[in-house]
Amino acid sequence: MNIVEMQHMTKRFGQYVANDDVSVQFQEKSIHAIIGENGAGKSTLMKMLYGFHTPDKGIIRIRGKEERISDPSRAISLGIGMVHQHFMLIPALTALENIILGDEPTRYGSVLDIRRAEEEVISLSEKYGLTLNPRHRIQNLPIGSQQRVEILKILYRKADIIIFDEPTPVLTPQEVHSFLTSLENLRAEGKTIILITHKLSEVFTVCDRLTILRQGKVVLSCEKTETTPHEVARLMTGQDLPPSPGKDTIRSEDKTVEFVNVSSRSRISPDSLKDMSFYLRRGEILGVAGVEGNGQASLIQLVLGFQHPISGRILWKGKSNIPSAIAYIPDDRIKNGMISDFTLQENLLLGRHKELEFSHRSVFQRTPVNAFSSRVLSEYDVQPGNPSLPIRNLSGGNQQKLVVGRELTKDSELVVANQPTRGLDIKAIEFVHSVLIRERNRGRSVLLISSDLAELLKLSDRIIVMYEGTITGVFDSSATTDEELGLYMTGVKRQVTS
C-alpha cells in the first residue's frame, strides 16, 4: 500500500524551478531512497512533505487522504518526522531532555514527569535497537549517538514515516554500519523510511525502492532490483563519469615529510600521538585510515605547524624547518576553510592575502588578484564563477572546489587533504579525486585523511592505520582490503614493529 503519494509536485524559487512535476509513491514499511546530485531537488521535495515549503502545484496524499501540510507541526501530527543533516539538538542538555523537548510528559498539570519520560525513551530505544544512555549530555556523545537521539525524538512523537536528509556523511564507517542496521529494524517494526542520499552503496545495501531526481525532474523510480549502480550513477549525473586519471609509478624516494617517534599532547582533543613514525614521499598519496578521534586531528595540527611535538622530530626534506606554505583542505570547510560572508574573490585570498603576487606594501593589486581569481574559478570549474558573489550563495560542492583550487594553487610540495569529499555529490567527488591524483602525478605529496575506506583504497599508494594515537599498520593499498583495514582501525590486530 502507498502510505505517501506525491503527485505533480512543482516548486519554484523565483526563476528557478526546484521541482518540476515530480510524482513519487512511497510504500508502507519500505526503505525508499531519493537520490540525485546537489541541487537536483531532493531536499525541496522532502521539505514540501515536511511542511517547510508549500508547493506551487501538486497533491500530497497521506494514507490515501489528501492533505495540505502547511507547517512541520502539521506533518508531525500526520506521523511524519525528519532527521536533518545538521542536528537540531541542545548540547548542554541530556539526550532524554532533548528527546522530550517540546512534548514533555507531565503530572498534576504541569510538573515534569521525568521518570515516565525516561521509561518511555528506554523502551523505544530497546524496541528499535537504538542503543543509548538517555542521561548523557549531547556534548559528550559521538555523532552516531546524537543521530540516534534525533531518531528517538521522532519516534517519541509517534512518527511512522521518517525522512533522513543525507544522514551518513558525518558518520564513521562503524556508525554507518549500525545506522543502516537500525534502518532495517525500523522497517521491521513497520516504519516507512525515506532516505535522501547520494551514496550508492547505501542505496544498494538497504533500500527497497529508489527514485532518481535530476534538475528537478524524476528520471527513474523503480525497485532496487530493476537497476544497477552503474545505471543509477549515469542517470544521476546525466552522463558517464570520466575515468579518474591513472597513477604513474612512484619514481622518487625523496621524503617530503617524515615523522620520527613523534609524541604530542593535544589541547584541542584527547587524541594525542604516541611515538608515531611514518614518511611521505614525493609523488605519493599516503592515506590515513582510522576511526575519527584516534589522533588524526593532532597529526594535522602537527603537520600544519599549529602544534609542536613534545618528543620526537618532524623532518621536512630531511631538515627541521617547516615550509612557509602548506596546502590544506580542511574537513569542515564552512568553519575552517572559508568565510561565508566573504565573496568568492575574498575567499580565494584567504591565507594567501600576504603573498607578494597579490599585495604590494599591504595594498591589494587588482590586476593580479582578478587574474588569479578568474583562473582558479574557471580551472576548478566553480559555478557560478562570479568573483564578487558571496560564497554562501554557492552549493557545497562548488565551495569545496574553490577551497581545493585555492589550496592546490599554493606553492607547496605537500598537500594535506582532510576528508576532502565529505558531503559532496558524485560529480564533485570525482573532480576532487582526479585533481588529487593529478597533483600526485606532478610530483607533489598528498597526505589524505579520510573516513571513507573506498576513497582511501582508490587514491592512496600506501595507507597507514591510526588507532589510539599510533600506527597499527602500514599497507600497500593495492594489497589490502577494507575488511583488513577495519581490523587494524579497531585495534583488533596490529603489525609488529621492529
Instruction: Point out which residues bind other proteins (CB under 8 A).
Output: 13-14, 53, 304, 306, 328, 330, 335-343, 345-346, 349-354, 359, 362-364, 366, 369-370, 386, 388-389
Report the nearest approach of other proteins to the CB of residue 259 (Å). 21
**Which cell is 151 given?**
531518531
Question: In the complex, what is the shortest distance from the CB of residue 386 to other proteins, in angstroms, rounded to a whole number?
Answer: 7
**Single-letter amino acid code for the residue at 46:** M
Nearest approach in angstroms of CB 210 to other proteins is: 24
CA distance 6 to 60: 5
Tell me the closest approach of the beta carbon of residue 290 to other proteins, in angstroms: 22
Return left, alpha or beta for 389; rule: phi > 0 is left, psi -120 to 50 is alpha, else beta. Answer: beta
CA distance 349 to 358: 8
* Residue closer to other proteins (CB basis): 39 or 295: 39
Q: Which residues contact 354 (CB under 8 A, 6 or more apart)?
A: none
Q: Select 332 or 476, whichever has its Cβ closest to other proteins.
A: 332
* Integer CA distances (angstroms), 490 to 6, 144, 220, 450, 456, in order: 44, 16, 39, 15, 17
Q: By C-beta, is 245 or 351 nearer to other proteins? A: 351
Q: Which is nearer to other proteins, 101 or 389 (CB)?
A: 389
Residue 495 Cβ, how far from other proteins at the closest point, in Å? 33
Q: Compare residues 134 and 330 and give the one whose CB is closer to other proteins.
A: 330
* Distance separating alpha carbons of residues 227 and 74, to the nearest angstrom: 35
Closer of 101 and 350 to other proteins (Cβ) = 350
Q: What is the signed CA dihedral for 355, 359, 364, 365, rounded to 10 degrees?
A: -110
Compute the least distance from the CB of residue 297 to other proteins, in Å. 13
The least CB distance from residue 281 to other proteins, in Å, is 26
One-letter amino acid at 360 equals: H
CA distance 269 to 134: 24
What cell numbers appear for 288 in the block?
590515513
* 100's grid cell: 522530550
Radius of gyration of the chain (CA): 24
Query: Whose Cβ is closer to other proteins: residue 388's or residue 498's?
Result: 388
